[in-house]
Amino acid sequence: MASFDINNVRTRIDPARGLEPSPRLVPHCGEISCADCPVRSHAVCGGLELDVVHELAAILTFKEYGEGDPVFDEGEGADHYYVVTSGTVRLYKLMPDGRRQIIGFLYPGDVLGLHDDHMYSYSADALGETCLCRFPAGRLVALMRRFPGLEHRMLEATSHELVEAQANMLLLGRKTAMERVTSFLSRLADQAEARGEPPENLLLPMSRADIGDYLGLTTETVSRALSRLKAKGAIDLENKHVRLRDREVIRDMTGDS
Amino acid sequence: MASFDINNVRTRIDPARGLEPSPRLVPHCGEISCADCPVRSHAVCGGLELDVVHELAAILTFKEYGEGDPVFDEGEGADHYYVVTSGTVRLYKLMPDGRRQIIGFLYPGDVLGLHDDHMYSYSADALGETCLCRFPAGRLVALMRRFPGLEHRMLEATSHELVEAQANMLLLGRKTAMERVTSFLSRLADQAEARGEPPENLLLPMSRADIGDYLGLTTETVSRALSRLKAKGAIDLENKHVRLRDREVIRDMTGDS
DNA sequence: CGGGAAGTTGAAGAGCGTCAAAAGTAGTGG
DNA sequence: CCACTACTTTTGACGCTCTTCAACTTCCCG
């Protein structure tokens, strides 16, 4: 027995310990081992010694999520860390009256579950079919103690998130609606480029309402901004497909220079 | 010789190595050694083994700043980390046209210089007379490698900052002007309480313009919100002195529940 | 196909920004 | 100690951007 399934939770056993992957493949996650994990190169686990990777593999479990499935809720005890292996995760905070602020969208290789004071500071759910690998917090912390390189990678990941959050504070506090939308498109293009995809042709995995809640705007305002960009000939737009006709023109509209 | 002065930079030599503090006292920093540093208990260096503290003391230098003195600028090479020992530091981002977003205000015990990709992601300057102790980044990183407990503390500090930044994203993206101002006052009261000061009696070290640039508002809007709170009898207000007449009333206006 | 959700577009309104002026505060030098 | 000046804060009037509300269209999935 190399893996088993309980409640949609798939436990991975370290192949290095003489166990082999299950022959049954998971629909979209794939029955990947850390050794050939597609996201390892740019994830927290990337660039680590093999013995650390093996120890990580020993404590992780895979889990699949469908559209809108919750991963965890703000305020819950933070008992797990997660790494996205496929799909997209939406992080958000809710106000008692229902107003929502989306904190970020996570893509394969990103970590979630970073917290302070043993409580999740935001809620997380899946945007479409998504697969996460999950680490019990206590055991991961123990591993960080034994392997300082792992803690170093966590610090790097956290610092990176912090820098992004600060950039979003500027966006939310000081940019106009059009600047926010073009900043958003520009960043999506950069991310696509970093993944080796064509940066001009974007497929938005999230709704207009999600974009609005991320940019501090309403759906209508997002829609209007996109329509104006289309009318100006800056983008082609058909529903979730956006094509940046000139990335420089978009960049010049972000307010960032 | 226990310390010397070059360009307003005061180098501390580790007292544990047999050197003693200079008899000449610095105006507001005090000629403190790490052993009796007033901020150590709640700073990064708190809770660390004594040998780590000694090594930290060996690489740090003190530096004083006056009102508005720059500490570093966004985009510069991040060659130092800093810890606030007295005063207040203002972190901010500027847009090319002069719009400013204040990322945070730092008080004694807080770290600055956290970064990504070896570049400061924001600018920092002093709010009034301020004293920082400064660590060369390379040497601090080397210490973190030797003493994993230090890196652990840095991770904790960074995680804490991240959680705060995310809370500010909700504030900037979704709260009304009045909710932002009451959230700000409420947080100042909490911080004062944490420091053991009376949480009802606040002294704002920053201008209305600073508060506005922190909350994504104009000075006028901040002033109007404060005036309305005063008119309602929720606060007493005389210039920089704010007295919360009922902390619960203020809290109920933050939108956070 | 058909029904419900998501997206677009328009018109009206509110909240905050802008501009302007007055009042208050602080620092400087006689 | 007071007068002078420069800056900060407050207050008011007005305008603009974005939100709200509503109708319509498009997309998606059974």
Q: Report how far residue B256's alpha carbon sits from residue A148's, in angstroms, rounded to the nearest whole number.
A: 38
Q: What is the pLDDT of residues B19-68, one digit of tens each?
A: 333 333 344 565 567 777 778 777 888 888 888 999 999 999 999 999 99
Q: Measured between alpha carbons, how far is residue B228 from residues A60, B71, B90, B185, B237 in Å?
A: 54, 36, 27, 14, 11
Residue A50 CA to its chain's centroid (Å)? 25
Question: How many CB atoms sit inside 10 A of residue B25's CB?
Answer: 11
Q: How large is the average pLDDT for residues A185-204?
A: 95
What is the spatial distance between Cα B133 and Cα B61, in angstroms, rounded to a whole number?
Answer: 6
Q: Determine the pLDDT at residue B29.
A: 65
Of residues A69, A75, A72, the one with CA closest to residue A131: A69
Find the helix or strand (DSSP H, E) in which B227 lies.
helix B219-231
pLDDT at A15: 35
Whole-number distance in Å between B6 CA and D4 C1': 38
The shortest C-alpha distance from B147 to chain A (Å) reads 9
| pLDDT score recorded for residue B207 | 97
| Interface check A24 vs B, CB under 8 A | no
User: Rounded to a whole number, what is the distance in Å from the CA of B4 to chain A's nearest CA?
Assistant: 34
Q: What is the pLDDT of residues A217-256, one digit of tens each?
A: 999 999 999 999 999 999 999 999 999 999 999 999 999 9
**Are A193 and A241 in contact, with CB atoms under 8 Å apart?**
no
Residue among A101, A174, A256 minimizing CB distance to B216? A174
Mean pLDDT of chain B: 88
Q: Assess A173–B contact: CB distance below 8 Å, yes or no.
A: yes
For B140-189, how does the pLDDT look when each residue is reduced to its tens digit (9 = 90+)?
A: 999 999 999 999 999 999 999 999 999 999 999 999 999 999 999 999 99
Chain B residue whose CA is closest to A122: B166
Instruction: Compare CB distances from B115 to A159, A215, A256 and report the shortest one's residue.
Output: A159
Q: A115 and B163: CB-CB below 8 Å?
A: yes
**Token pair for B114:** 């956290």
In this complex, is the C-beta atom of B218 within 8 Å of any C-beta atom belonging to chain A? no
The label of the residue with tokens 């819950």 reads A76
Instruction: For residue range A86-115, list pLDDT tens digits in order.
Output: 999 999 999 999 999 999 999 999 999 989
pLDDT digits (tens, 9 = 90+) for A114-169: 898 899 999 999 999 999 999 999 999 999 999 999 999 999 999 999 999 999 99
Q: Are A93 and B166 in contact (CB under 8 A)?
A: yes
| C-alpha–C-alpha distance, residues B202 and B239, integer Å | 11
Would you say the pTM of this structure is higher than 0.75? yes
> What is the Cα–Cα distance from B168 to B237, expressed in whole angstroms?
25
The span from the CA of A133 to the CA of A111, in Å, is 10
